[in-house]
A and B are shown apart, each in its own frame.
Chain A
Amino acid sequence: MTVPTHHPGDTLLIDYAGGALGEAASLIVATHLALCPCCRLNVAEMEAVGGALLESIEPEEVDPACLETVLARLDDLPPLPRVPRPKLVCQPAEVPLLPEPLRRYVGGDLSRLPWKRLMRGMDCYDIPLGSGSGYDSARRGKARLMRLASGVGPPHHTHRGIELTLVLDGGFTDDLGQFARGDLSVADDSVRHRPVADEEGCLCLAVTDAPLRFTGALGLILNPFVKF
């Protein structure tokens, strides 16, 4: 089993471990983690740093009634089931192509998704995020599945903001190198690149985190995979 060679890098993983990333960027980082044991270890260590920081924070006094309230409610609450997922009787014949948590968002059967054609050889599916009203969608970012035929790439252009692209099947090549399953490309406005799908085509997850959070400017979601 090959492991990825292009990784999110420490700062993005710290943002994920600390919980500062929006949902779209968290989705792509977590899906990379499913395919990359090395970044999983990094995140576990970064969460340990979060634990150590929590230990060292200046405590704030809590109303003593709080403990009473909580203790009074304990008996109403049964423990959550130890492993809340159904166990399969036998292993599935095939390992699903899409790892969790992505599979939960788009389902296991790509052929059933309502793909939208962007141009010849390029289809997309916008992934619904979140759970209804009351959220700040600009902050959440945007996530999209992209399917590219061999040799196809988005039109050349410049952009601002940050874009994250994770290869799920096949691969693509750009100025930064060759990207295969599990590889995550991180590009910001310092990078000018024109990805082109490899011979076997390319299925990828493309994410733009909220531009507001990255540039302080309104509008302009500019991932070449996302902006159409």
Chain B
Amino acid sequence: MRAETALPKTCPKKTCPKKTCPKTWMQDLGSPAAGADRTFEELLTAVGRNRDRAAFAALFGHFAPRLKAYLRRQGCDAGGAEELVQDVMLLVWRRAETYDPSQASAATWMFTIARNRRIDALRREQRPEIDPADPTLVPDPVESADDGVAARETAGRLRAALRTLPPEQADLLRLAYFEDKPHSLISAEQGIPLGTVKSRLRLAMERLRKAMRDSR
């Protein structure tokens, strides 16, 4: 099971992600290079396919400090945050096989794992989610191979759009994602009328959505 961790770099599997994934966003717009010559998406794929420990360590080096900052903003103390970071990274190791680079950037995938883990750990709640294999699920309308997915995950364009958001929109967006507070509570705490909170979040999302969809 774990002998593969020592696979040489010439392992033919290493070339698979690009072969099997027709998407182009990974190459030209994907996450910044992770020190070495591989994107985070490639590193995560290598962990999933080859149990690549060096790739895992590189992912840890980049994401652990960000995950810690995220968990601190959710109300963890420094020690608790580091413990949860370890939990999240162990989950990343165990689930990396299910990571599909055509569906999400590495950062997005890590975000969803960290989000669910902290709901479980800090709130002791379940996180209800759809089951993609559920026969009752209403399927996506037929789309061409690159439609939707490629647009959804143009990580570079999205980051750029995020940087150009008006500060009042970007601030609210961070509160909504990082503070474990629904928009209604943000409104109450920030003393901003609920309608204003909603319209700022909507405007922010419209701009980001446009950036993601225009990149087709």
Q: Which residues of chain A have a CB within 8 Å of any CB of chain B?
A: 1, 3, 10-11, 14-15, 17-23, 26-27, 30-31, 33-37, 40-42, 44-63, 66-67, 69-71, 73-75, 77-80, 82-83, 85, 91-92, 95-103, 105, 129-132, 134-136, 139-140, 162, 182, 209, 213-216
Residues in B with CB closer than 8 Å to A1 are 138-139
Please determine whether B116 and A51 come into contact, CB atoms closer than 8 angstroms: no
CA distance A100 to B173 in the complex (A): 29
What 0/1 pattern do residues 179 to 216 of B give for CB contact below 8 A with A?
A: 11111110010000000011001100100110010000
What 0/1 pattern do residues 116 to 151 of B give for CB contact below 8 A with A?
A: 101100011111111101111111110000001000
CA distance A83 to B131 in the complex (A): 11
Residue of A nearest to B161 (CB): A52
Please determine whether B174 and A52 come into contact, CB atoms closer than 8 angstroms: no
CA distance A20 to B127 in the complex (A): 11
CB distance from A71 to the nearest CB of B (A): 7
Please determine whether B184 and A69 come into contact, CB atoms closer than 8 angstroms: no
Residues in A with CB closer than 8 Å to B21 are none
Q: Which residues of chain B have a CB within 8 Å of any CB of chain A?
A: 1-2, 31, 48, 51, 53, 56-57, 60-61, 63-70, 72-73, 78, 81-82, 85-86, 89-90, 93-98, 103-112, 114-116, 118-119, 123-131, 133-141, 148, 152-153, 155, 158-159, 162-163, 173-174, 176-185, 188, 197-198, 201-202, 205, 208-209, 212
CA distance A11 to B172 in the complex (A): 11
Please determine whether A70 and B136 come into contact, CB atoms closer than 8 angstroms: no
Please determine whether B180 and A10 come into contact, CB atoms closer than 8 angstroms: no
Please determine whether B131 and A57 come into contact, CB atoms closer than 8 angstroms: no
Residues in A with CB closer than 8 Å to B129 are 30, 101
| Consensus secondary structure, chain B interface | helix
CA distance A97 to B137 in the complex (A): 10
Other-chain residue from B111, B125, B127, B136 in contact with A47 (beta carbon distance below 8 A): B111
With known contacts A48-B105, A57-B69, A100–B131 Cβ distance under 8 A:
yes
Residue of B nearest to A95 (CB): B135
Residues in B with CB closer than 8 Å to A22 are 125
Residues in A with CB closer than 8 Å to B51 are 79
Other-chain residue from B70, B72, B134, B179 in contact with A34 (beta carbon distance below 8 A): B134
With known contacts A11-B198, A58-B69, A74-B93, A19–B115 Cβ distance under 8 A:
yes
Residues in B with CB closer than 8 Å to A26 are 127-128
Residues in B with CB closer than 8 Å to A82 are 97-98
With known contacts A54-B110, A77-B93, A62–B125 Cβ distance under 8 A:
no
Please determine whether B85 and A66 come into contact, CB atoms closer than 8 angstroms: yes
Residues in A with CB closer than 8 Å to B67 are 54
CA distance A42 to B202 in the complex (A): 12
Please determine whether A77 and B94 come into contact, CB atoms closer than 8 angstroms: yes
With known contacts A54-B110, A62-B82, A135-B124, A33–B130 Cβ distance under 8 A:
yes
Residue of B nearest to A98 (CB): B136
With known contacts A26-B127, A162-B184, A52–B158 Cβ distance under 8 A:
yes
CB distance from A24 to the nearest CB of B (A): 9
With known contacts A21-B182, A37-B141, A47-B104, A60–B72 Cβ distance under 8 A:
yes
Residues in A with CB closer than 8 Å to B181 are 20, 213
Given A49-B173, A79-B97, A91-B135, 5 further pairs, Cβ under 8 A: A45-B152, A45-B209, A59-B65, A60-B78, A99-B137
Residues in B with CB closer than 8 Å to A80 are 94-95, 97-98
CB distance from B55 to the nearest CB of A (A): 12
Other-chain residue from A19, A34, A70, A101 in contact with B119 (beta carbon distance below 8 A): A19
